[in-house]
Amino acid sequence: MSQQPLDDRNRIAALRLARTPRLGPVTYLKLLRRFGSPADAIDALPDLVRQKRLRPFSTPSEGAAENELEALACSGDALYLLGDSDYPEALSLIPDPPVALIARGRCDLLERPACAIVGSRNASAAGARQARDLARALASHDVVTVSGLARGIDGAAHRGALETGTIAAVAGGADIIYPPEHADLQHRIAEQGLIVSEQALGTRPVARDFPRRNRIISGLSLATLVVEAALQSGSLITARLAGEQGREVMALPGSPLDPRARGTNRLLRDGAHLVETADDILDILKSCRLTPQGLSEQDQDALFPGSEDNAPEFDLPEPLAHDSADGAGLQAMLSMTPVSVDELARQTGRPLGEVQAELLELELEGEISVTAGGLVQRNAGD
């Protein structure tokens, strides 16, 4: 499927949509499907809001988008926009790819095969050593390590791959140092590797940004390896997202007496690949194939308007936004009794990827929680 680069008008429009609160990737795709281009979509959005009686969107002005583009030009950072010809392929195939991705450093790393290595912030010395050694071994085979620059396992994995290049997906702006003790490491990654973020420069991370960051870690990677993780670890969110994205999930086994091994051991019981060496990981990576998850043929055509395929029907199914009528209907179907995502998709008649993306929004807002078995339930008090 051929891709056409976005012109300046559509780049500005796409960036404005990316910076519009409540308008996420799923809605962005629906707008493209309906109107054909980011510029036409943003022009039609006010009328559409009135027709559908939706809560208005606070879309930034053209001037604000132009200022952000100018700031990126001054900083030397790259901007990838969903649907543009140079957008990272692996990330474009997940159910909810970021509409805008800022990259600081060696963008060539996005073209190489990648493996995520994540794990506990409170890592053991042995776990940190394993993460570092595995990342270094993968680097010797031209595999890029992707992680989240967090304390513990993430930092160890980045250090192991630093000499040949590593990718850090961060929750705040690419220019914001976090955590503070990783200031030197973050500077070195910006020089020798790559930092990516869907946030504008200068944005300080808040709690809800970290789980959203996790989908980028797994989305850039062919597979995700969890080295150490407690049962409530955010690394298990990354592993779950990897599975939902159609990517392989791997885990290192650990002692049942160590709380940091309970999450990884549970992943293994649930079907994750057991790995012990870099050769185990490389064998799994050889069989990995990138496939679209949650994107219908129409969505793919909307992303790549230069395709020789037939033009899609520009139909905008509900909901346009997360808090519209159908979105409330999905939330209303949830209770304190856990239910599978597949069952929700069957009962709503909506595409699985669309339901997954909306459930992620609800999870990040604290409306729902996901059990260790991947079932979803409404949180108490909602």
The pairs formed by 2-9 with CB atoms below 8 angstroms and a separation of 24 or more are: 2/304, 2/306, 2/307, 2/308, 3/84, 3/85, 3/304, 3/306, 3/307, 4/85, 4/304, 4/305, 4/306, 5/84, 5/85, 5/86, 6/38, 6/81, 6/83, 6/84, 6/85, 9/39
Q: Which of 76-85, 137-146, 359-368 has the lowest mean pLDDT?
A: 359-368
Average confidence (pLDDT) over 13-37: 88
DSSP-assigned beta bridge partners for residue 368: 378
Residue 285: DSSP 8-state: H
Helix (H) or strand (E) holding 270: none
CA atoms lying within 13 Å on the CB side of residue 218: 30
Average confidence (pLDDT) over 352-373: 74
Contact 120, 238 (CB under 8 A): no
Contact 303, 82 (CB under 8 A): yes
What's the pLDDT at 48? 84
What's the pLDDT at 304? 43
Q: Which of 62-71, 107-116, 346-355 has the lowest mean pLDDT?
A: 346-355
Average confidence (pLDDT) over 349-361: 77
What's the pLDDT at 296? 52
Is-cis flag, bond preceding 317, omega within 30?
no
Domain boundaries, the chain: 107-286
Average confidence (pLDDT) over 33-41: 90
152, two tokens: 């513990």
Q: Which of 22-26, 121-125, 323-327 has the lowest mean pLDDT?
A: 323-327
Number of H helices, E strands in the chain: 16, 11
pLDDT at 376 over 80: yes
What's the pLDDT at 294? 59
pLDDT at 355 over 60: yes
DSSP-assigned beta bridge partners for residue 102: 79, 197
CA atoms lying within 13 Å on the CB side of residue 37: 14
What's the pLDDT at 270? 95
What's the pLDDT at 321? 37
The residue that leads in pLDDT, 4 or 127, is 127
Return d(Cα 304, Cα 302) in angstroms, integer: 6
The torsion angle over the Cα atoms of residues 72, 77, 79 and 80, rounded to 10 degrees, is 180
Average confidence (pLDDT) over 13-42: 89
What is the maximal distance between C-alpha atoms in the chain?
60
Alpha-carbon Rg for the chain in angstroms:
20
Between the alpha carbon of residue 231 and those of residues 119, 146, 361, the distances in Å are 11, 22, 22
What's the pLDDT at 325? 33
pLDDT at 319 over 60: no
What's the pLDDT at 200? 97
Residue 378: DSSP 8-state: E
Q: Which of 126-135, 239-248, 320-329, 346-355 has the lowest mean pLDDT?
A: 320-329
In the block, tokens 């543009």 appear at: 84
Return d(Cα 348, Cα 125) in angstroms, integer: 47
Is-cis flag, bond preceding 319, omega within 30?
yes
Contact 123, 93 (CB under 8 A): no
Q: Kindly write down the DSSP assignment for every residue of 139-175, as one continuous string.
A: HTTTPEEEE---TTHHHHHHHHHTTT-EEEE-SS-TT
Q: Under CATH, which architecture does the 107-286 domain have?
A: 3-Layer(aba) Sandwich (3.40)
- Give the tens place of pLDDT for each residue, 300-318: 555 544 332 322 222 333 3
Percent of the chain with pLDDT over 90: 61
Q: What average pLDDT does the structure give for the chain?
A: 86
Alpha carbon 20 to its chain's center? 18
What's the pLDDT at 346? 77
The residue that leads in pLDDT, 367 or 100, is 100
What's the pLDDT at 372? 55
- Give the tens place of pLDDT for each residue, 184-241: 999 999 999 999 999 999 999 988 889 889 999 999 999 999 999 999 888 999 999 9
Percent of the chain with pLDDT over 70: 87
pLDDT at 299 over 60: no
